[in-house]
Amino acid sequence: MNEDPNEVQLPAHVLVHPELTNDPANKQGEIGFITAAILNTDEFYIGFDDSEVGFYGADALLMLKDPEQLYEYIDQNFGKLSTRDFKDLKNIVLLQLHGTEKHTRAALELVQKNNGIRDAATMGLDNFLGLSQQKGLKR
């Protein structure tokens, strides 16, 4: 197995941040898939179900957190979570454990329908890739 240590596994599906203020493609809150990525210039082309393609920076895209992070969040916040939020977070973990693109999309659809779990269940693609840290260092 000769995996390149510099190679990054991008998520199959991403959610365009629902609170994105400047979106020429007008796809805030929609789920898409990465069709092309240029990491060193922070350029991501996202395809959508209607065959449109949008151009985004990583900070405009959300991806699911790892199941382990979600388990930890559920454990730490068990008494504070509503029944709906608990159920949705648990189902996101179970869908992710299936490991297919179809299940990942279904998990993102749960986030899409329940804004109350968005911060707990997702992270910015820029944070995942370490791009937000690099931007901070350049300034």
The count of structural domains within the chain is 1
Judge whether 40 lies within some domain: no
Judge whether 82 lies within some domain: yes
Range of the domain at 72: 64-123
Judge whether 57 lies within some domain: no
Q: What is the 3-state secondary structure (H, E, C) of the chain?
A: CCCCCCCCCCCCCEEECCCCCCCCCCCCCCEEEEEEEEHHHCEEEEECCCCCEEEECHHHEEEECCHHHHHHHHHHCHHHCCHHHHHHHHHHHHHHHHCCHHHHHHHHHHHHHCHHHHHHHEEEHHHHHCHHHHHHHHC
What's the whole-model pTM score? 0.87
pLDDT per residue rounded down to tens, the chain (139 residues): 455 556 778 998 999 999 999 898 999 999 999 999 998 899 999 999 999 999 999 999 999 999 999 999 999 998 999 999 999 999 999 999 998 899 999 999 999 999 999 999 999 999 999 876 544 333 2
Judge whether 74 lies within some domain: yes
